[in-house]
Amino acid sequence: MTAGVPPGGEFAAIDRLMRRLPGPPAGEVWIGDDAAVVGPAGAQTLLTTDMSIAGVHADLRLMGLDDLGWRAVAAAVSDIAAMGGRATHVLVAVAGPPSTDLDALYEGVAQSVEAHGCRVVGGDLSNAPQVVVVVAVTGVVGEGPGPVLRGGARAGDHLFVTGPLGGSAAGLRILRGLAAPGRPPAAASAENPLVRAHRRPRARLAEGTAARRSGATAMIDVSDGLAADLGRLAAASGVGFSLGDVPVAGGATIEEALGGGEDYELVFAAPDDDAVRRGFDAAGLAVPIVLGECTADRDQRQWAGTVLAPSGWEHRFR
Binding site for a copy of itself (CB under 8 A): 1-11, 13-14, 16-17, 20-22, 24, 28, 30-31, 35-36, 38, 45, 47-51, 53, 55-57, 88-89, 91-93, 95-100, 102-103, 106-107, 109-110, 113, 119-130, 132, 134, 136, 138
Whole-Å CA distances, 214 to 29, 116, 204, 274: 22, 22, 15, 9
Task: Give 88 or 302: the residue with its C-beta nearer to a copy of itself.
Answer: 88
Task: Give 122 or 244: the residue with its C-beta nearer to a copy of itself.
Answer: 122
Q: Tell me how far, at minimum, the Cβ of 213 lies from a copy of itself, in Å.
A: 24
SS (H, E, C) 247-290: CECCCCCHHHHHHCCCCCCEEEEECCHHHHHHHHHHCCCCCCEE
Task: Give 129 or 144: the residue with its C-beta nearer to a copy of itself.
Answer: 129
Dihedral-angle region of residue 304 (phi above 0 means left; psi in -120 to 50 means alpha; beta otherwise): left
Q: Tell me how far, at minimum, the Cβ of 52 lies from a copy of itself, in Å.
A: 9
Task: Give 73 or 276: the residue with its C-beta nearer to a copy of itself.
Answer: 73
Q: Tell me how far, at minimum, the Cβ of 12 lies from a copy of itself, in Å.
A: 9
Q: Tell me how far, at minimum, the Cβ of 197 lies from a copy of itself, in Å.
A: 22
Q: Tell me how far, at minimum, the Cβ of 125 lies from a copy of itself, in Å.
A: 4
Query: Helix 205-213 crosses helix 273-282 at what angle (to 10 degrees)?
Result: 130
Q: Tell me how far, at minimum, the Cβ of 44 lies from a copy of itself, in Å.
A: 12
Task: Give 49 or 300: the residue with its C-beta nearer to a copy of itself.
Answer: 49
Q: Tell me how far, at minimum, the Cβ of 296 lies from a copy of itself, in Å.
A: 31
Q: Is 278 exposed, middle or buried (0-12, 13-18, 19+ CB in 10 A)?
A: middle
Task: Give 96 or 240: the residue with its C-beta nearer to a copy of itself.
Answer: 96
Cα angle 299, 260, 307 (rounded to 5 degrees) comes to 25
Nearest Cα residue to 213 out of 286, 153, 275, 273: 275
Are 87 and 117 in contact by the 8 Å Cβ rule? The answer is yes
Dihedral-angle region of residue 230 (phi above 0 means left; psi in -120 to 50 means alpha; beta otherwise): alpha
Write phi, then psi, for 12 (nearest 5 degrees).
-60, -35
Task: Give 30 or 271: the residue with its C-beta nearer to a copy of itself.
Answer: 30
- Other beta carbons within 10 angstroms of residue 96's beta carbon come to 21
Q: Tell me how far, at minimum, the Cβ of 290 lies from a copy of itself, in Å.
A: 31
- Other beta carbons within 10 angstroms of residue 99's beta carbon come to 5
Task: Give 8 or 182: the residue with its C-beta nearer to a copy of itself.
Answer: 8
Q: Tell me how far, at minimum, the Cβ of 88 lies from a copy of itself, in Å.
A: 8
Per-state percent for the chain, helix, strand, coil, to nearest 5: 30, 25, 45
Nearest Cα residue to 175 out of 150, 139, 200: 200
The rounded radius of gyration (Å) of the Cα atoms in the chain is 19
Task: Give 12 or 178: the residue with its C-beta nearer to a copy of itself.
Answer: 12
Give CA–CA dist 241/158, Å, rounded. Answer: 9
